[in-house]
Structure 1
Amino acid sequence: MVSLPLSAHRVRFRMIDYTFTSDEAITNLGSLKFSQSNRMPDPKDASRVVTTTTTTTFSMAKEMARSVCQKFLEAKFVESVEGKTDFMNKSSVWQLTPKGIHVLERFCTRNGIASAHVKAVMDSNRNPRQLVILERNTDTDKLHHDEQTIEIIFRRFIGTTANEAQSDSDSIHEFSKCDIGVKLVKHRPSSQRQFEYTFHGRNAAQWLMDCSTMVDPRESIEIGSLFLQLKLIAPVDPRNSEHQFQPVKQVHYYITAHGERIAGWLLEQAPLSGDIPAKSRDGVARDSNSNRTNVIIRNPSWRLLYREFLKDTMCEENLSFYLEVQDFNRQYKQAINDKSDNKVETIRETLAAAYGLYNAFLAPGSPNELNIDHSLRTQLATRMTRAVGDDAAMLQSLNEVAGLFEKAQQSIFKLMSSDSVPKFVKHPKYASQLRGLDAAAASAYVALPAASRS
């Protein structure tokens, strides 16, 4: 998308802005060039900044490019302006969906891309600026399926209040507003039908795909089935499955009383005494925010909420950096323990990943520049701008970089613990959804070795 012109194209009798044709997309993917500029201090003169541009080139056959475009369509990143369902016609006109615009914006922010045509589409009124950023398992890339995470997705899916939309059209713009829930139809409860709101399977699957970072339609069926299994929703017709969600217009579901409580529509009962942690006498309160931060980072559901909070407060980069350093550390350990003949190449790739991390978060003027100690920033700049010589020097460089990244990660952890986490746990939007956090933080503290507590 960054390398496509995204210009206006004529469709019937009007011009549609920020669009592209099938042929433009397939040709572009066939010989894709992606350029990125990085600003770094001059190693010979720290007062000067040197800009280096890296260009990455990809190439693929036309059929493969067409298949990739089809995947973009299935993931709801792009949509046809003319109602087309494939990329077979060269002149078919396509545009980014609201979801696609938001995903592109996150990518551009992460990589410091500020092309005029991309900025124009991101600034357009079609950018939803609200998307449920789902957490994935780093090993399998599958969505997390724990009950807390599913309940958080359900709250976003249902909305803070009922979305009683009158329209039931198949418009491609039906789900462009991601800060309201799925379209619901209101009913008058009766002795036969105790429920108040219903929706059909197609709308539910559409909302999940359009308003979250799901990339495969099967994932929406997966999440819908979990809504059923957790008794958050149920089929209107008892002949339909209570376990397997059906993403079709003919199958209707209602929100259960339990679902309404989870959504926050009904007042919940007062928490049981077991939910409230007893105050510890061994000093757990002294460092409770560090323990909370550790638990939040490890728990996918609380991490999802915390990321939303950080995005709203304009400091999501802190969590992103912390997690990316964790991924880098796994890659680094594999590289130094590699016993194969490709060890040198593995180290080179890991060092390249380190430069990517540095340029995104730590270099002066980087797109997501972090607030870290000046002396640590200077050490990083000195290390990252020093030339790398032979294989032994490359390994030494990687070891030094990994050590500096660990220091930067610790610095960001302390910053989150002292600033954003205390604000997060007290925020009225999230406080009610963090039940059990303090108990988990206290347990984590007790599990720590005595030496680590001081």
Structure 2
Amino acid sequence: MPSIALSDASTPSSSSSSGRSENKPPEEADEHFLKITGGGRPFQKDIADLFATFIAAIELKSHKRTFRTHANCFSTNDALQILESLKFSQSTRAPNPDQPKMFVTTTTNFLFSMSRKVAMELCQRFTDARYIVNAVDASSYTFKERSLYSLTPKGLHILEFFVRKTGIDIDHIQPILESQIACPRLFHFQRDPEEDKIVFSDKAMTALFRWFAGKRPNYPNVTTVPPPSLEALFHYTQRSRGVALMDWSDRGKGAVVHRNCFEAAEAVNWLSDFTTMVARDEAGEAMAHFVRMGLIGRIWTPRKNTTTFTAGAAEFVCAPKVIYHITEKGRDAAGWPERPDEKPPKVGESIFRDGMSEKYSTVHQHLRFILKERPFRALFRQFQQGILCDENISFWMEVDALSRKSEITSSAAAWPPAASQRSVRSNRRKYHQALLEHAQHIYRTYIQAGKAPCEVNPDHYLRKALCNFLDTVRVPEEEAARAEYAGDRHLCAIMHCDSEQLQTLIRHYSILQDYVFRLMLIDPFPKVFIQPALG
């Protein structure tokens, strides 16, 4: 792949707590080329960053094609025009170590330069990585001229991670994040820093196989007919639990029925969709390692049009209608229950009525309605208690309450106090203190790693971002050492947040809240529709 040039220039500025700022001259622009692997592709991290930068810059809108309207798409021509001169600005704000009351804000401007041919090849990399999909023909894996493309759940996950990492503003993308399905988690790999190749150790492959096989055999539930507004969510939720399995009969050998079988092509697609792999070759090589380790075995291969991937002496054959099955060793490695052959539950009366489905057309609106309406929330909580994850509802409600209280009135939005308004000023301080205590309660109850009694399971990078922010809050050492904080400086830092820092803390909580919301959306929420009426 030809090279992609990257130019970046940083402009630092200093500001005090009163808001005064002093701009400094920009540093000299630095230009370099993105690293390319021996196979000619950019490194995985660079592909992800380029993709997210590209999506933040392009307009996603509705397009008409072949008598259909495709929402939230971009055209090939628009994509190439954006990529030929892709610009991106990032600002970071940190305390000045030399002057405690001052902050240093650094704005870095990035400019990616590439030819139209390189932009076309880069879009093909986005397609190979399963960040985008052809909106007209989802079965096409080639980035084509004069076509339309939309974001995949994996692409939305990559975009959200980039936003959390950089803090950029993507208000124009927010409606899409609220209306489309985003992958809540991806399996991450260790890569060789020099060649960007995945490190296929046996330990990593065993962990990947458990991710691939799921907690139990994933036989699609064909008896459940979800409401039309939830059909896409049901399909994605079912698929996210592990590769789709089937029973396969070999008619040439006395009609032997093989259990726990899957198509080779679907296995490669599944790994591409639910891991950080950026090429089908990587997925094929991982499957070859599964063969090498005896976790899967081939039981049927057509005689033409096959692609073979190797791992040592083992090989994985990929083509339509090539059938593999999970071996006994694979079942043990996956940790499946001894008797996994459970029939899917019968469709019972849902706690939701058709009228609600029509009124709340999107899945996100549907779940938000349930969380905000006490009778439905009580039923949903009762259901979640049965699967031991009702703390997600409690956390969502706590953060929602804190956000609403901070919006009603807080020291951040209050009027400037006058000398005669001592009681008003005192009330503001008390209200601000109450908000801090509520924020600390949320951290202590749901977020504190290893100690929270109702700990939720947020993304590692979200928790890290919150902790990094709390590390910037100045705390007297004697305060942090108090017994009530049990050695956790972050609990003390929360109580020392000023009004601006409190708003930042609430934004971090809201991001965690959104992540937990998506976890509920992907896992327990669809299960409600296949359970008998609760209560």
TM over 0.5: yes
After superposition, the Cα gap between the structure-2 partners of 1:45 and 1:219, relative to the gap in structure 1 and judged at 3 Å, is: same
- Is the 1:175–1:207 contact (alpha carbons within 8 Å) kept by the matching residues of 2? no
The answer to whether structure 1 residue 160 and structure 2 residue 160 are counterparts is: no
Q: Deviations over 1:268-323 (max 9, x none)?
A: 9xxxxxxxxxxxxxxxxxxxxxxxxxxxxxxxxxxxxx9xxxx9633623997xxx
The answer to whether structure 1 residue 100 and structure 2 residue 161 are counterparts is: no
- 1:68 aligns with one of 100, 107, 122: 122
Displacement of 1:78 after TM fit? 0.8
Displacement of 1:46 after TM fit? 4.0
- 1:369 aligns with one of 468, 479, 483: 468
Q: Deviations over 1:399-443 (max 9, x none)?
A: xxxxxxxxxxxx99xxxxxxxxxxxxxxxxxxxxxxxxxxxxxxx
How does 1:245-284 map onto structure 2 within 5 Å?
245-267=316-338
**1:55 alignment counterpart:** 109
Following the alignment from structure 2 to structure 1, what is the Cα–Cα distance between the partners of residues 214 and 145? 39
The answer to whether structure 1 residue 31 and structure 2 residue 31 are counterparts is: no
- Is the 2:264–2:323 contact (alpha carbons within 8 Å) kept by the matching residues of 1? yes
Q: Which runs of 5+ in 1 are unaligned?
A: 269-305, 321-360, 362-366, 379-410, 413-454
Q: What's the Cα RMSD here?
A: 3.9
- Greater strand share, 1 or 2? 2
How does 1:233-248 map onto structure 2 within 5 Å?
233-237=296-300, 243-248=314-319
Displacement of 1:113 after TM fit? 2.2
Following the alignment from structure 1 to structure 2, what is the Cα–Cα distance between the partners of residues 239 and 87? 28
The answer to whether structure 1 residue 212 and structure 2 residue 298 are counterparts is: no
After superposition, the Cα gap between the structure-2 partners of 1:53 and 1:69, relative to the gap in structure 1 and judged at 3 Å, is: same
After superposition, the Cα gap between the structure-2 partners of 1:317 and 1:75, relative to the gap in structure 1 and judged at 3 Å, is: closer
- Is the 2:93–2:105 contact (alpha carbons within 8 Å) kept by the matching residues of 1? yes
- Is the 1:202–1:247 contact (alpha carbons within 8 Å) kept by the matching residues of 2? yes
After superposition, the Cα gap between the structure-2 partners of 1:315 and 1:377, relative to the gap in structure 1 and judged at 3 Å, is: farther
Displacement of 1:246 after TM fit? 1.5
- Partner SS, residue 329 of structure 2: helix
After superposition, the Cα gap between the structure-2 partners of 1:373 and 1:80, relative to the gap in structure 1 and judged at 3 Å, is: closer
Following the alignment from structure 1 to structure 2, what is the Cα–Cα distance between the partners of residues 9 and 368? 42
**1:117 alignment counterpart:** 172
- Partner SS, residue 133 of structure 1: coil
- Is the 1:225–1:244 contact (alpha carbons within 8 Å) kept by the matching residues of 2? yes
Displacement of 1:146 after TM fit? 1.5
Displacement of 1:257 after TM fit? 0.9
The answer to whether structure 1 residue 314 and structure 2 residue 385 are counterparts is: no
After superposition, the Cα gap between the structure-2 partners of 1:376 and 1:146, relative to the gap in structure 1 and judged at 3 Å, is: farther
Displacement of 1:52 after TM fit? 4.3
The answer to whether structure 1 residue 196 and structure 2 residue 276 are counterparts is: no
**1:130 alignment counterpart:** 185
After superposition, the Cα gap between the structure-2 partners of 1:235 and 1:88, relative to the gap in structure 1 and judged at 3 Å, is: closer
Q: Could you tell me the percent identity over the aligned residues?
A: 27
After superposition, the Cα gap between the structure-2 partners of 1:173 and 1:267, relative to the gap in structure 1 and judged at 3 Å, is: closer
- Is the 2:63–2:70 contact (alpha carbons within 8 Å) kept by the matching residues of 1? yes
The answer to whether structure 1 residue 144 and structure 2 residue 166 are counterparts is: no
- Partner SS, residue 118 of structure 2: helix
How does 1:295-306 map onto structure 2 within 5 Å?
none
**2:243 alignment counterpart:** 182
Displacement of 1:151 after TM fit? 1.3
Displacement of 1:211 after TM fit? 1.1
Following the alignment from structure 2 to structure 1, what is the Cα–Cα distance between the partners of residues 125 and 258? 38
- Is the 1:175–1:210 contact (alpha carbons within 8 Å) kept by the matching residues of 2? no
Displacement of 1:374 after TM fit? 5.7
After superposition, the Cα gap between the structure-2 partners of 1:317 and 1:126, relative to the gap in structure 1 and judged at 3 Å, is: closer
Displacement of 1:377 after TM fit? 12
1:372 maps to amino acid: D
My pick for the range that moved more, 225-234 or 103-112, is 103-112
* Length, aligned pairs only: 290
- 1:6 aligns with one of 38, 60, 66: 60
Following the alignment from structure 1 to structure 2, what is the Cα–Cα distance between the partners of residues 25 and 238? 39
Q: Which runs of 5+ in 2 are unaligned?
A: 1-54, 223-231, 340-449, 478-488, 491-535
Following the alignment from structure 2 to structure 1, what is the Cα–Cα distance between the partners of residues 145 and 233? 23
- Partner SS, residue 207 of structure 2: helix
If asked which structure has higher relative contact order (CA below 8 Å, sep 6+), I would say 1
The answer to whether structure 1 residue 222 and structure 2 residue 222 are counterparts is: no
**1:89 alignment counterpart:** 145
- Partner SS, residue 253 of structure 1: strand
- Is the 2:302–2:321 contact (alpha carbons within 8 Å) kept by the matching residues of 1? no
Q: Deviations over 1:25-67 (max 9, x none)?
A: 1110101001112223468864455644322111111111111
1:18 maps to amino acid: N
Displacement of 1:117 after TM fit? 2.2
After superposition, the Cα gap between the structure-2 partners of 1:377 and 1:211, relative to the gap in structure 1 and judged at 3 Å, is: farther
Displacement of 1:94 after TM fit? 0.6
Q: Deviations over 1:87-127 (max 9, x none)?
A: 4424x111111111111111111111231123333333321
Following the alignment from structure 1 to structure 2, what is the Cα–Cα distance between the partners of residues 368 and 33? 30
TM-score, normalising length: structure 1: 0.55
Displacement of 1:176 after TM fit? 4.1
After superposition, the Cα gap between the structure-2 partners of 1:209 and 1:63, relative to the gap in structure 1 and judged at 3 Å, is: same
- Is the 2:181–2:233 contact (alpha carbons within 8 Å) kept by the matching residues of 1? no
Displacement of 1:200 after TM fit? 1.1
After superposition, the Cα gap between the structure-2 partners of 1:230 and 1:319, relative to the gap in structure 1 and judged at 3 Å, is: farther
1:144 maps to amino acid: V
- Partner SS, residue 93 of structure 2: strand
Displacement of 1:375 after TM fit? 6.4
Following the alignment from structure 2 to structure 1, what is the Cα–Cα distance between the partners of residues 127 and 74? 13
1:225 maps to amino acid: A
